[in-house]
Amino acid sequence: MNWHDFTFCGHRLRALPSGALFWPDERLLCVSDLHLGKSDRLARRGGALLPPYETRETLTRLDADLAATGALQVICLGDSFDDDMAAEALAEEETLWLLRMMAGRGWTWIAGNHDPAPMALGGEHRAEIHLGPLTFRHIAEAGAAGEVSGHYHPKASLAGKSRPCFLIDAARIILPAYGTYTGGLRSHDASLTALMAPTALAILTGPRCLVRPMPR
């Protein structure tokens, strides 16, 4: 078992070492901050020409998680595309790949700050979504309860090694960025310590999930 099971608002949830969150009872997989099409956006703006492989790398990992979990519902927690144009600029085979994964599954795109409305693809488009006691949205809100969000790209270190991580307390979960070309924000950052309770945990991603008190 390289994942980490925990109970959140009365429901059993599973943090996967890839950075995805799985809700076994609902067969629901949640990922955040895919940032698909990032290299394309940078190139379009006249910047560096980064290796244009991050989209297929991210989709490969997502495909593997879908196969492993047998998820029937998917929620992408926002910033799925690096901007609205990036959604349109996806290579045809990448779009087809994404559509193939979406086929036969409930698929919800939550709006992010980078990609308010990638409407060209199917699926549902929502600002936020409520399932039982849980609320899925892009950016955490102060005072929320049962909230699952992304946006911050949290990371934390253990034995001198820093990795993307989930942050979890009784009221909220913040997911790590799932996209390949993404950096991280140390959990010490004031914006994260202000949101998370003193007893919050950090679940580090990597070869397997490692749990530690959230460094602050």
Partner 1 sequence: MIDRSDEPALLLIAPTGGGKTLAGFLPTLAELADGRHRGLHTLYISPLKALAADIRRNLRTPVEGAGLPIRIEDRTGDTTYTQRRRQRADPPHILLTTPESLALLLSYEDAPRIFVGLRRVIVDEIHALAESKRGDQLMLGLSRLETLAPGLRRVGLSATVEDPPALARFLARNPDPCPVLLADPGPEPDISMLVTEEPPPWSGGGGRYAIPAILEEVKRHRTTLIFHNTRAQAEIFFHALWLQNSDDLPIGIHHGSLAREQRERVEQAMVEGRLRAVVCTGSLDLGIDWGDVDLVIQVGAPKNVKRLVQRIGRANHRYNAPSKALLVPANRFEVVECQAALDAVREHDLDGEPRGPGPRDVLCQHILATACAGPFEADRLYAEVITAGPYSALSRPAFDACLDFAATGGYALRAYDRWQRLMQVGGRWQLRDPRAATVIRQNLGTIIDTELLKVRLNNRFGGVPLGEVEEDFAASLTPGDTFLIGGEVVRYESLQEMTVQVSRQPGRDPRVAVFMGTKFSTSTLLTHRILDIFRAPSWPELPRHTAEWLALQRDVSRLPTEDRLLLESFPYDGREHLAIYGFAGRNGQQTLGLLLTKRMEEMGLAPLGFVATDYATLIWGLEPVTDPAPLFDPDLLRQGLETWLQGNTVMKRTFRNVAIVAGLIERSHQGRRKTGRQASFSSDILYDTLRKYDPDHLMLKITREEAMRGMVDFGRIEAMLARIGGRIDLIRRDRVTPLAAPMFFEPGKIPVEGAGRERLMSVAAERLMQEAGLA
Q: Which residues bind partner 1 (CB under 8 A)?
A: 33, 35, 39-40, 43-44, 46-54, 56-57, 79, 91, 114, 152-153, 158-161, 177, 180-185, 199, 201, 204, 207-208, 210-213
**Beta bridge mates, 12:** 7
Closer CB to partner 1, residue 50 or residue 121? 50
Positive or negative, the Cα torsion across 8, 138, 111, 89? negative
Closer CB to partner 1, residue 64 or residue 199? 199
Output Rg (C-alpha) for the chain, integer angstroms: 16
**Least distance (Å) between residue 38 CB and partner 1:** 8
**Least distance (Å) between residue 118 CB and partner 1:** 17
**Least distance (Å) between residue 72 CB and partner 1:** 30
**Least distance (Å) between residue 90 CB and partner 1:** 10
Closer CB to partner 1, residue 71 or residue 168? 168
Closer CB to partner 1, residue 171 or residue 185? 185
Using CB atoms within 10 Å of the CB of residue 81, give its burial: 0 to 12 exposed, 13 to 18 middle, 19+ buried: buried
Closer CB to partner 1, residue 18 or residue 182? 182
Determine the Cα–Cα distance for residues 138 and 33; give it in Å rounded to an integer.
9
**Least distance (Å) between residue 210 CB and partner 1:** 5
* Torsion (CA) 128, 100, 33, 2 in degrees, nearest 10: 110
Asked if 97 and 59 count as a contact pair (C-beta separation under 8 A), the reply is: yes
> For the chain, what percentages of helix, strand and coil (3-state, to nearest 5) are there?
20, 30, 45
